[in-house]
Structure 1
Amino acid sequence: MKLKLTVLLMVLAMILPGLLPAAEIITEEDMIKKVVVEEDFIQTANNFLILFDSSNSMKRQYQKGSPESRYEVAKTILKEKLVRLPDLGYNAGLYLFTPYSEVYPMGPLDKGNFAQAMDSLPAEPRGPTFLARGLRSIEPKLQGLSGKTVVYIFSDGTYSKLGDFKEPEDYTQALAEKYNVCFYLIGSPQDNRAQKRLEDMAKANSCSRVIPFEKFIENPEYITGALYTVKATERIETITESKIVGLKIDSIRYAFGSAKIDMEYLNEVDALGSFLQKNPAAYVLLEGYTDNTGTEEYNLQLSLRRAESVATYLKEKYMITDDRIVMNYYGAINPAASNATAEGRRMNRRVEVAVGGL
């Protein structure tokens, strides 16, 4: 899939024929005329740590008939995306757990050095998968960090047991209780037992999640979405018409405490579903938000359920497949309006939608 992601909440030039008034096109020329600058971004994490699997389990082909292994594809995508992050002052670390070794020590992100560290990874995956030891070994790296840390873990849910080490899910749970950390489990388990292990590891807290390897590769927004999002108040004025490459949909807003799509917004979602049906190369990014009422844990869960409500509608009514839907959820961060008023809080209870890929 050719990846072209729309900047959220664009003010666009023309209405797409055949769709409802809320749906507006995005043109290729429009997109290249505006480059998002640093001030457009909201940082959603302060640090990231990659626990990379270079064991035998990564030798599997990325796709049937593909000459590239999952190991090769994952290295390429990580390098391309992470070295292009906006300069928001991230700390970063890169570690192998097969066996455990330090490739890029946790510290300020230097993109050139990080790229060199990626290039220094083993040429071929080999050896056992000491996942539990890797998880235990990263705790000292987390101890000195401030703010939120995202830990990307590449795993197929299997691992090699070693000595008196606990189960991997025991370590993710313990680390989540002690540190401000979110786990992104990236992999494609081969059986139900391995799938359950990844799901159990992701139960550490509300911001942790399992991402199928294929979705991670096809939609690298799963990488960047954990680290930053775009300010809701930014707007772009377009000045020309060109090839259609996306669709802009107004934010879908929700009642207090609800994840049910209100009737008044069904036209928006129907316009989105119709567009995706007519443009099979397109994909959609859904970002869920809440107002600032409630705890962080509750709001993360609620913002996830709001994004899921749109995804479920698209899948059930328009048969849009999982690989064309990317979901991120952020709770109360990135407010569209002030939470000091009832109207502002209403504006913040939303799912933002962006379409790209044409």
Structure 2
Amino acid sequence: MVAGATAAVVAAAVTVPVLLPEAAPDVSGSAVAVLSAPDPSTETAADPDSSPPKTLVAAGRAAVYAYYTWEEVKISADRQVKKLTWNRYDRDKGVYEKTPWAWLDVARGGEAAAFLEQVPAKRVGVLTGRDAEVRWIDLERPAAAVHWSPDATKLLLTNYSANPDESYIPEGNSRMLMPSSRIGFTVVDLADGRAVFRARGADPDEPPTDRDDFSWSADGTLVWENHASPPPTKKFYDLEGNERPVPYGTAETYQQDELSPGGTRLIVGNTGQGAGLGIRDVASGRTTPLTPVSGYLIEQIEAWADEDRLIVWACEQKGANGCVGGEFRNRLLLVDLKGGDPVPLSGFRENSQKAGKSWVPIFTPR
């Protein structure tokens, strides 16, 4: 789920993801019971005529329980800040609804949520259900992003000394980023509410980026950050902040979950076969490029629906001239690796890089 905020690296018309309430009484000392059971449904839910979607988008094991839109807000003569507006799926109403929070992540199953009131914030709020009271957990250092662990027992927060979404106002086509203000990460154990900070500033040898958030490994035992230098493309750390070897199937691309749920397939990049992304069979080592399907060019992989199906961003082709209306006029598709026509899951996103023209889905296990 980078999830978190999503950046894009563009090459040869293919986008590869970088890796995704009112105040209530403070009950931060209370224990948390079972937070959110997995959603038993695996049926495909789509809203192919809406962008952003109005009703649930989901397929197989993955669902969009939240998404955000964004806009650049001028805060001084030469600076601006990217403001995110979050929408969360309401299962009772069957629609997405706007939230007042500055950052949001939803746990597996779609019912429990963690949020920040502002960016950065000195506390994190947790809701274990629709009618639950907010549980506030104080942080040693301010944080600008929060992510649930895969088993929904912990939270991972990335700590910043300043707002990482602030940047200089570009002059012409030149865009200048602020120096990274990342200072580390915090792991919150929801059983006792204990929040432990680990210092880990941004790598001075890495190029500037909008954000430098940490994400969970697939099994929740490690955290990782993007690494733009020569492969591997990710750096991993244990929960104590010590660097660890890269697990198999996790550093081929900037994808959040590169290895399929059953471990038989792996997302890889730079196939050199007319496609920027491909799928490698783990047993045989054979790589199949993700070439156009039914008139769609696959730009970016978002999630595994199951062992044979992928949820992707794809745009309609227009012969050798690329995609209709530009590279970023794309929609979410469900693609079957065994063949068959893709299934549209959302309407067309007119532009993924301009404020007010885009929305970014956050995929979560059902």
Whether TM exceeds 0.5 here: the answer is no
**Structure with the higher strand share, 1 or 2:** 2
TM-score (normalizing by structure 1): 0.31
**Structure with the higher helix share, 1 or 2:** 1
TM-score (normalizing by structure 2): 0.30
Q: Which has the larger radius of gyration?
A: 1
